[in-house]
Chain A
Amino acid sequence: MFDQLTARGCAAFGMLLLILLALPMFADSYLVSVVTLVLWFAYVGQAWNVMMGFAGQLSLGHSLYVGLGAYASAALFVHFGIGPWAGLWLGMLLATLAGAVIGVLGFRFAIRGVHFALLTIAFAEFTRIAFDHIGWLGGSGGFFLPVGDAAGSSPFDLRGSPVLFYYVILALALGALALCRRLLHSRIGYFWLAIREDQEAAQAVGIDVFRAKLAAVLISAAMTSLGGVFYAFFYNNLFPEQIFSVSRSIELILAPVIGGIGTLFGPIFGAFILTPPGRAGHLGY
């Protein structure tokens, strides 16, 4: 997967990877938790990038998919005792369904640019207020996962030490990077780039614009919902006010915007630049 990187780029990426893999051996738990957060933002940034960076569809409501993934897996775990490795499928299903609704409606009715972005916000906000009123999921008072006691703390339930979470999110981030790279050099990836640059021209050469854009939304939604599953089990508390909020959606897109929209390493780079200063700010209090 490194064929288009320069030798120096390869070396830098290899070094970074080695440091990241070995990090829990020499870093304290605080640093590990900060890098976990960095990787989380890199992961969801990568997911958002599929939609905006590759296919050119601006979504400002990605917190919707984070929240759906988080609530679905958490509800299965708390109410039915089904672990996250099974629950994530429900989260992905719900998020792709939501993405399908937004995508089909938005693209069928030819809503573009600012209006499409507002449509994504509207759906996220609508869902936020709806979740505020679902008593079964805690409503606006919050939904809490039991913090791993000795009996239930198995990796199969994603209950465990910060190091476990660290490696899970590292695997997710690397997986997303590999997936995005594959997508970008596939048939659909080239379709996306064509649509991003000029939708009319893409349509004129025979690309099924509707299907390609919808595919971008679905893939992006499914990937983002996994980030939500991780969020739920890492933080153990969910509030509609936080997880579905517009400011969460904005937080998600900052890393790829800073790092470079439409690039593979942009979201990772951006997350490493943005997240640590934000955390350091918390130390002051």
Chain B
Amino acid sequence: MPLDLYLNVAAGGLLTGLVYGLAALGLSVIFGVVRIVNFAHGELMVIGMYAAVLAAGSLSIDPLLATPVVAGLLFAVGYGLQRGLVNRFIDRPDHMQFILLVGIAMMIVNGLLIVFGPDSRNAQVSYAFDAIEIGPLLLDTVRVYAGGGALTVAALLFFFFRCTLTGKAIRACADNQLGARVVGLNVERLYAFTFGLGAATAGIAGCLMTLLVDVRPQLAPEYTLLSFIVVIVGGLGSMGGALLGGVLIGISEAMAGFILLPSMKSMFSYGLLILVLLLRPQGLLGKRP
């Protein structure tokens, strides 16, 4: 039954895509509020992956259970980065912000290379080869857990921005920075908080990703670009858009890898990015500026 086969591949891509979407959500939150393009996003994600792998290796903690700790760690990293460095570059031109974050990214990748070396590492989990059967679909347990985790965290983020005071304050900063200042919000602190939140989201996405792939420091730039593609395709500043973009990219990658060649899969992501940039620059779910 070839249709079943395609459905299975698509379902696997969808679940992986949810994790991509979560990583992109972090990027989208940072860009939407702080207006900084975080070119070190994939690097933060890979830090999360290494944290999860270390926790699984030395303390035998399941990557899923390690997520709160990793999120806290990455939140601190993001908060510190924004407070210490990025904040000074907020009013500078695009290319300076870009160079700053690329510099940070390079330092992270090379630091990881020095500490952990270039070899792949992975987190061993007992259910690595299990599968869940739903009708004609046979889904890897790890993918289901990763996709479910991504959805949960995305829902939590959504709730945070809709229903808490801090979340509303951050959205106010994004809408009108001057207005937010006028009503007495501490914009610098909220920016740092947002950056931390975005970094934590990337870290959690990294944790979930360790269930699916082996981690190498060199993965980081790929994930940075992937997050960008997802965000642009889905629409900057739209939370649903980031998830939708992630799912689209996940499915198209899985399909291209299955029908053509695995090594050609990201060509389709870039092709999709070019098309969306040209035809609908605000993204699929983004609002026209």
Contacts and interface: CB of A to CB of B under 8 A. Distances in A.
A263 interface: no
Contacts of A247: 221
Contacts of A52: 95
B278 interface: yes
B221 to A, nearest CB: 6
B273 A60 contact: no
A261 B94 CA distance: 13
B24 to A, nearest CB: 13
A126 B95 contact: no
A37 B263 CA distance: 32
Interface string B227-270: 01100100000000000000000000000000001011011001
B139 interface: no
B95 A257 contact: yes
Contact of B225 (A121, A140, A261): A121
A133 B277 contact: no
Given A105-B278, A130-B267, A113 B94 contact: yes
A122 B270 contact: yes
Contacts of B263: 129, 132-133, 140
A60 B105 CA distance: 15
A119 interface: yes
Nearest to A245: B221
A125 B265 CA distance: 12
Interface residues of A, number: 30
Contacts of B37: 114
B94 to A, nearest CB: 6
A119 B232 CA distance: 10
Contacts of A129: 263-264, 266-267, 270
B139 to A, nearest CB: 28
A125 B268 CA distance: 11
B85 to A, nearest CB: 17
A123 B278 CA distance: 12
Contacts of B261: 133
B271 interface: yes
Contacts of A119: 274, 277
A117 B274 contact: no
A111 B278 CA distance: 8
A172 to B, nearest CB: 25
Contacts of B267: 126, 129-130
A118 B94 CA distance: 12
A140 B263 CA distance: 10
Given A60-B98, A111-B281, A118 B264 contact: no
B107 interface: no
Interface in B79-124: 94-95, 98-99, 102
A90 interface: no
A127 B270 CA distance: 10
Nearest to B273: A122
22 contacts: A52-B95, A58-B94, A60-B98, A109-B278, A109-B279, A111-B277, A111-B278, A113-B94, A115-B232, A115-B277, A115-B281, A117-B98, A122-B273, A126-B267, A126-B270, A129-B263, A129-B264, A129-B270, A132-B263, A140-B263, A257-B95, A257-B99
Given A122-B270, A126-B271, 13 more contacts: A58-B95, A58-B98, A109-B277, A109-B279, A119-B277, A122-B229, A122-B273, A123-B270, A129-B264, A130-B267, A246-B221, A250-B102, A254-B99
Pairs A-B, 5 closest by C-beta atoms: A129-B267, A126-B270, A122-B270, A122-B273, A125-B270
Interface of B: 37, 94-95, 98-99, 102, 221, 225, 228-229, 232, 261, 263-264, 266-267, 270-271, 273-274, 277-279, 281
